[in-house]
Structures are given as C-alpha cells and as structure tokens.
Amino acid sequence: MSFDYINALQKKPTSRTPIWVMRQAGRYLPEYRATRKQAGDFMSLCKNKELACEVTMQPIDRFDLDAAILFSDILTIPDAMGLGLYFSKGEGPKFSNPIKTLKDIENLPIDVNDDLSYVFDAVSTIKTALNNRVPLIGFSGSPWTLATYMIEGGSSKTFANTKKMLFNEPKALHLLLDKLADSVIVYLNQQILSGADSVMVFDTWGGVLSKQNYLDFSLNYMAKIVKGVKAQHPNTPITLFSKNGGKHLTHIADTGCDGIGIDWTVELNVVQAEVGDKVAIQGNLDPAVMYATPEIIEQEVKKVLSQFKGNTGHIFNLGHGITPDVDPENMQVLVDCVHQFSKR
C-alpha cells in the first residue's frame, strides 16, 4: 500500500501534494449535523463506534481527501481520568471536577486505556470501513493543552489558573504533565495497534507560553511522547502541531517527530529554510480563506503550494480547523485545486 500522505511524511516520492483538513468531519457538513442529531450529543457520537465511523467517512466519501482522521476529541483522556467531561451549549467543553490541588494530581490514574476502549473500537471499525482507500490518522491532545482544560475546567482566554500553577507550583504542574504524557503514550500506541497509520498531537495552546516555558512545559512532554511512541512503533509517522508555535519550529523538529503542523502566521518557505529536510511540514492555508470565492481560494492555494520547494515533504492542510459556517462546496474547490496544481 503506498499513500501520498504517508510518503510525504516519510519524504518518499509523491504523485501530488496530499491534503486533509483539520476538523474535516464536522458541523460545516449537513450530513454530520444529521448524524450528530441522531446521536443526541457530541460525546455520545464519539462513544458510538458505528456513528463515529459514519462521520469519519462522510468527508472521505464526499471529497478526494488523502487521509481520514479518527472522529473523537482530545478531552477523552481527562474524561477517563474522572474529571467528568460535558459540553454546555455555546460554552464548549466543561469539567465538573477540575484539578485544583497537588493531591488531585497525585490521585489521577495514568493508564486509562480500559475506559477508552470506545476510542480503540472506533479506530478498528473505521480502519475496516476505509478498506485501505486512504490512511487513518489517530490523535491526542498535548499534555500542556490537556492540562489547561483540566485546570481551568473548560476553555479559557487567560489560562489564569494554569499559569498560576506554572509560576507558584511548577513541581505540581510538571507532575500533571508527566502523568499526562504517560497516558498519551499508551493511548496513541493502542490507537496504532487498533489500526491508526499515523498519529498527531494537537497542542492548541502551546503558543500562549513564553519561549522557555513552551520548551519546559509543552515541548518537553511532546518530546517524551514522540520517544514513547517511537519505542513501540518506530515506523509510524508522528506529527506535532503547536498552534502559534512558529517561533519554536527548529526545537519541534529536533524531537524526532516526522511532521510539524504550522498555522498561517508563518510562511512555508521560511519554515522549510529553518527545519530543512528533518521533518515534513503540514499546513498552512488561513482557514478564513474558506469564506472567499472559488477564484480567491484557487489563488491562495497556488501561493501556499509555490512556497514549498520539492516534490515531497508537504502535506496540505489549513492552519487550523475548518469552521462550522464554511460552504462545503468550497472544500471541494480546495481539494481539487491542491491536487490539480501539485501534479508532478
């Protein structure tokens, strides 16, 4: 089996630039909204392997995408650790038992794979449904990003409690991050055993840290994850994505990961000059381009493609997730443009 997506990550020849899109299965698709309604709520959708498989396949059936991504969420691990995840309308994810003290951290279980069997069941169900059409990406959140949700009790603009712990009780935060890294390692390894062909770590909030704190509190633990996954699965590509991580790319590339995800605030040619041949690069169209006309989308796709030098090592993606109010027709335009203008 030879897939452009895997080949690009491994710097092997590709027939064209592969593309997948973060949040490709989601609310911009009417068929997603219908299945979500049938499931009742978001977590019930994640926990039902047939429905999770159905929504994973929806964008694959509709567009000529080069990879599927497991339909799940990064907050499955803290939920399995007992924090009580729920989604409140308009406010996003919430935890009923957020982390407050060192004692809370000490009491957290590490290997929660038994409670996450629904994720591994979804992976193997999707793998069978894909029937090798395209590879399957598994994922988790980064320890730092998971810790922010666990300590804040949900989304945050300031990360006040997490940063308070970072400065006042760094040892407690390091213990939490280290436990999370160990949980993520066994979680990703089990996703791979269940059928994931590559894995990605989403570090949505690494970019809110100063350089040294990013290295110590975020990248350090992602590097541990890369090591722990590579020890079990040396040939499975790993991508690290720190949103707003443009200033840290050489350090990210030094972790031994195979790919780095970049957002639209850095230019591909600049990134390529910095990281050289060490890693593949995933990105990085501004997600807001998806609101523009087909002509503008085409023009912006050509710009991104022309910034990358070489015939492999680029995986086209948006710089962050596709937003719920995008017209699905524009996704078609995006995928077709990337393939058409990158034919070798």
Q: Does 73 participate in catalysis according to the annotation?
A: yes
Q: Is 339 in the site for ligand CP3 (CB under 6 A)?
A: no
SS3 19: strand
Return the residue of 18, 78, 93, 138 that touches ligand CP3, per CB under 6 A. 93
As measured in angstroms, the least distance from the Cβ of 290 to ligand CP3 is: 14
Return the residue of 29, 69, 105, 185 that touches ligand CP3, per CB under 6 A. 69
Q: Does 33 participate in catalysis according to the annotation?
A: no
Q: Contact region for ligand CP3 (CB under 6 A) — 16-24, 225-233, 269-277, 284-292?
A: 16-24
Q: Which is nearer to ligand CP3, 289 or 312 (CB)?
A: 289
Q: Does 114 participate in catalysis according to the annotation?
A: no
Return the residue of 6, 8, 36, 220 that touches ligand CP3, per CB under 6 A. 36
Strand partners, 93: 87
Cα(168)–Cα(150) distance, integer angstroms: 17
Residues 201-240 that bind ligand CP3 (CB under 6 A): 202, 204
Among residues 4, 28, 32, 36, the one annotated as catalytic is 36
Q: Is 26 in the site for ligand CP3 (CB under 6 A)?
A: yes
Q: What is the DSSP string of 86-136?
A: EEETTTEEEESS---SHHHHHT--S--GGGGHHHHHHHHHHHHHHTTSS-E
Checking DSSP bridges between strand 92-95 and strand 198-203, what pairing results, if any? Answer: unpaired
**Side by side, which strands form the sheet with 280-285?**
68-69, 136-141, 198-203, 238-242, 259-261, 280-285, 314-318
x-or-dash pattern for ligand CP3, window 120-139, by CB under 6 A?
A: -------------------x
Distances in Å between the Cα of 152 and the Cα atoms of 44, 50, 179 are 23, 32, 18
Q: Are 215 and 246 in contact (CB under 8 A)?
A: no
Quick one: how far is CA 142 from the chain centroid? 9
x-or-dash pattern for ligand CP3, window 233-272, by CB under 6 A?
A: ----------x-----------------------------
Q: Is 71 in the site for ligand CP3 (CB under 6 A)?
A: yes
Strand partners, 69: 137
Catalytic center residues: 23, 27, 36, 73, 149
